[in-house]
């Protein structure tokens, strides 16, 4: 979430290193320069009640900086308008960044209250600036004279992005339209907070509490995790299963109790769809009503058209073209997978009907039958410590960077921090990890900044402070954290985002962001190395015996790499299509989101009932409160890019080719949004991206030597500005 993705604040008082009694009354760490190692936030001194005053002061300072630009009577220039605007609002941006990042990792009822209060304030403040007529006049004055100005490529890019940002925010609207747009944006900001908080509450409120007799089929480590969770809840003689993925997926995969698989999966599917205080269906209506009206105000037929116009795809037709091309072969492959599982299902349930909560269970049975591969036999080789060692090894092998544990302020006791050193041992940045689920943390995994890479007034690079947050399987009293294949791959994915942030070397703040459908390229590219045989031999070591993963297990992983790809691709594309469909409405009328989803996916496109879309609307956080509205297709669009980039390594004959890695760092990772995504891609690859490697990786292309390349992406119509980088 990409990433990527409106979040919020801080942590419980018990997580603070310094207690309140040690602080001076009224002290706010945001009001003074941080005296912290490596410039990290002073987490040991920040309290929730510091945020509102800091945000208010940040907004006030920002207003003054904007007033200085608009009251300047000199001729508008790049320096006194565009650069001055780019340099404005630094305090507000820094406080808001920490506020948003920390909320996702450690929220509380008190902090939710702060979110509700500040969300409309921040939205109103942003609109006051972007809809400021005098400010836009000066921006436009510079933009209209751009052909006569002596600007380098980055300055021209910043000018064009700044102008387009104002236009897309409504700068060309009349006074009445601007007033309505402000109302819409405030309402949307509040709806996003409520939507995300409802999901968090639903996740926390459900527990499936079982006795020993109900654990049939579950491996020992899954039982141990559930036993420790139940003990935390005061039920020492029980086993607790939750809707967190490290608990849910193993239960669906191994429990032979079909009625219990049905119960927990339905609870997962029906989150925020139960007609109670956490029901999100009305909020979904509010989102679509407001977003559609906003698109119309800005001159677009739908909100999807508005969003995509600012991405690499440029048009909804291009997005649908890619998704539709994948949909049919993926669904056909999934139907074939279902047919194979049906034979196993009939032995257990002769008169029953295969259901969605059966898929993981029988897929695992089928994998054992076809490949003699049981994921539980792999987990001892995938301890979290070893997988982390693997990503550090890969980063060093490709880019020459190293990682050194450091003692810095932490926002939670479970977080850990590393200094990242460049190949010449210079300081590149700080990287936090926060691995395990807890009640205050949002589901999923993501990567973002606490401090963004910038340049100070003296031309010195300000190093970023980056954080990877996840919800991986916890260690138990008897075993370390042992990851699934999916969790291991997720860590490689988020680490790719972290490298993108760490390698940023961008001169202007307004050029740090990239297009949403480009942002997943660095993260998905890293996944390609996760289970490469040479990589596995480096990090997949048995946590007890220290035995390197044997070749026969590596062969099993390789031979089964296309297993269940039909299912995984179908549920991904289904979610992408449902996102595009709901945001492609050209006129809003009240609707039932559940019925809309069923008509769009099952009735019209033929999705089989045994597969649910990866996310259903009531808990589709990516598109309603996570920055991926009309953008869940980003993962698929970027997959075309990442697989084609990896082809460059394959073609070289060396998957760890340092020259290619250095080119990718210099021409893509370091440049941020200093050029549009397609320009960056072509500069690195020397050609347009090819869809065939992506299709082949999903088992949807079988010709090993295709005669013709399939160009995947349309040429950009001019330079396209980037959007906010969402958290994944």
**Cα 34 from Cα 29, distance rounded (Å):** 7
Say which DSSP state 633 is in. T
- 443, exposed or middle or buried, with CB in 10 Å at 0-12, 13-18, 19+? middle
8 A C-beta contact, residue 328 and residue 694: no
Q: How far apart are CA 230 and CA 232, in angstroms?
A: 5
CB 107 within 8 A of CB 444: no
The angle that helices 316-348 and 565-583 make with each other, rounded to 10 degrees, is 140
Rounded (5°) CA angle 119-121-125: 120
Using DSSP's 3-state secondary structure scheme, residue 259 falls into: helix
| Tokens standing for residue 564 | 């269940």
Whose CA is closest to 316, among 724, 714, 728?
A: 714
DSSP character string of 488-556: HHHHHHHHHHHHHHHH---SSGGGS---HHHHHHHHHHHHTTTT-HHHHHHH-B-TTT-PBPPHHHHHH
User: Which element (helix H / strand E) includes 428?
Assistant: strand 427-434
666 half-sphere exposure, CB direction, 13 A CA radius: 9
Largest CA distance in the chain: 83
Residue from 112, 224, 375, 494 carrying the catalytic annotation: 494
467 strand-pairing partners: 432, 448
Scanning the structure block, which residue is given the tokens 């559930």?
226
Active site residue 494: yes
Give the whole-angstrom CA distance, residue 107 versus residue 438: 10
Q: Which helix (H) or strand (E) holds 420?
A: strand 416-421
C-alpha distances in Å from residue 203, one per residue of 148, 163, 233, 507: 57, 42, 15, 41
Please name the helix (run of DSSP H) or strand (run of DSSP E) that holds residue 99, with its range, or none: helix 90-105
Handedness of CA 263, 269, 273, 276 (dihedral sign): positive
Q: Residues 88, 66: contact at Cβ < 8 Å? A: yes
Locus of tokens 């404005």: 88
Instruction: Give the whole-angstrom CA distance, residue 124 versus residue 115.
Output: 14
Strand partners, 421: 402, 427
304-307, long-range: CB < 8 A, 24+ apart: 304/580, 304/583, 304/584, 304/630, 305/584, 306/168, 306/630, 307/583, 307/629, 307/630, 307/631, 307/723
Give the span between the Cα atoms of 593 and 582, in whole angstroms. Answer: 9
Three-state SS for 113? Answer: helix
Residues annotated as part of the active site: 494
């Amino acid at each position: 979430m990409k990433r990527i993705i409106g979040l919020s604040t801080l942590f419980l008082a018990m997580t603070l290193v310094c207690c309140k009694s040690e602080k001076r009354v009224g002290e706010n760490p945001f009001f003074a320069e941080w005296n912290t190692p490596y410039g990290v936030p002073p987490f040991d001194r920040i309290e929730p009640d510091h945020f509102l005053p800091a945000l208010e002061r940040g907004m006030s300072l920002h207003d003054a900086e904007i007033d200085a630009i608009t009251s300047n009577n000199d001729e508008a220039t790049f320096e006194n308008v565009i650069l001055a605007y780019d340099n404005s609002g630094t305090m507000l941006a820094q406080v808001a960044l920490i506020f948003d990042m920390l909320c996702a990792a450690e929220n509380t009822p008190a902090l939710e209250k702060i979110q509700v209060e500040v969300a409309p304030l921040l939205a109103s403040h942003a609109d006051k600036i972007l809809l400021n007529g005098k400010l836009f006049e000066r921006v436009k004055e510079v933009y209209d004279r751009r052909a006569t100005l002596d600007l380098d490529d980055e300055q021209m890019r910043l000018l064009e992005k700044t102008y387009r940002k104002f236009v897309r925010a409504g700068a060309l609207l009349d006074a009445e339209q601007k007033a309505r747009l402000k109302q819409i944006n405030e309402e949307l900001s509040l709806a996003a907070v409520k939507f995300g908080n409802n999901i968090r509450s639903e996740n926390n409120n459900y527990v499936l509490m079982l006795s020993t007799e109900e654990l049939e089929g579950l491996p020992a480590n899954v039982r141990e995790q559930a036993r420790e969770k139940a003990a935390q809840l005061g039920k020492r003689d029980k086993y607790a299963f939750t809707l967190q993925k490290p608990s849910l997926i193993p239960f669906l995969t191994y429990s032979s109790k079909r009625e219990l698989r049905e119960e927990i999966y339905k609870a997962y599917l029906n989150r925020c769809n139960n007609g109670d205080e956490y029901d999100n269906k009305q909020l979904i209506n509010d989102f679509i009503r407001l977003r559609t009206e906003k698109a119309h105000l800005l001159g677009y037929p739908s909100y999807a058209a508005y969003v995509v116009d600012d991405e690499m795809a440029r048009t909804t037709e291009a997005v649908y073209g890619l998704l539709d091309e994948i949909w049919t072969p993926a669904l056909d492959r999934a139907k074939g997978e279902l047919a194979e599982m049906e034979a196993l299902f009939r032995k257990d349930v002769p008169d029953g009907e295969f259901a969605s909560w059966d898929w993981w269970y029988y897929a695992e049975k089928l994998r054992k039958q076809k490949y003699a591969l049981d994921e539980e036999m792999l987990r001892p080789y995938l301890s979290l410590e070893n997988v982390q060692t693997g990503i550090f090894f890969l980063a060093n092998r490709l880019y020459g960077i190293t990682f050194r544990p450091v003692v810095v302020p932490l926002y939670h006791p479970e977080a850990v921090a590393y200094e990242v050193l460049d190949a010449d041992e210079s300081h590149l940045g700080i990287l936090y990890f926060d691995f395990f689920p807890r009640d205050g943390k949002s589901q999923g995994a993501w990567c973002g900044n606490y401090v963004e890479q910038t340049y100070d007034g003296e031309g010195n690079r300000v190093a970023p402070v980056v954080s990877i947050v996840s919800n991986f399987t916890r260690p138990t009293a008897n075993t370390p954290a042992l990851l699934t294949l999916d969790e291991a791959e997720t860590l490689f994915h988020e680490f790719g985002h972290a490298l993108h942030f760490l390698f940023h070397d961008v001169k202007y703040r307004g050029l740090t962001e990239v297009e949403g459908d480009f942002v997943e390229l660095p993260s998905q590219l890293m996944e390609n190395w996760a289970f490469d045989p040479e990589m596995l031999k480096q990090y997949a070591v048995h946590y007890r015996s220290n035995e390197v993963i044997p070749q026969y297990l590596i062969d099993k992983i390789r031979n089964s790499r296309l297993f269940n790809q039909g299912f995984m691709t179908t549920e991904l594309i289904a979610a992408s299509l449902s996102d595009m469909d709901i945001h492609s409405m050209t006129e809003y009328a009240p609707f039932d989101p559940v019925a809309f989803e069923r008509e769009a996916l099952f009735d019209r496109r033929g999705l089989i009932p045994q597969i649910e879309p990866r996310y259903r609307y009531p808990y589709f956080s990516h598109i309603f409160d996570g920055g991926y509205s009309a953008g869940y297709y980003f993962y698929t669009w970027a997959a075309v890019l990442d697989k084609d980039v990896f082809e460059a390594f394959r073609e070289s004959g060396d998957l760890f080719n340092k020259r290619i890695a250095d080119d990718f760092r210099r021409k893509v990772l370091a440049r941020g949004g200093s050029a549009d995504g397609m320009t960056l891609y072509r500069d690195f690859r020397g050609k347009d991206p090819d869809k065939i490697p992506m299709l082949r990786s999903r088992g949807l292309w079988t010709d090993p030597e295709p005669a013709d390349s399939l160009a995947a992406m349309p040429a950009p119509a001019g330079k396209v500005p980037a959007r906010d980088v969402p958290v994944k």
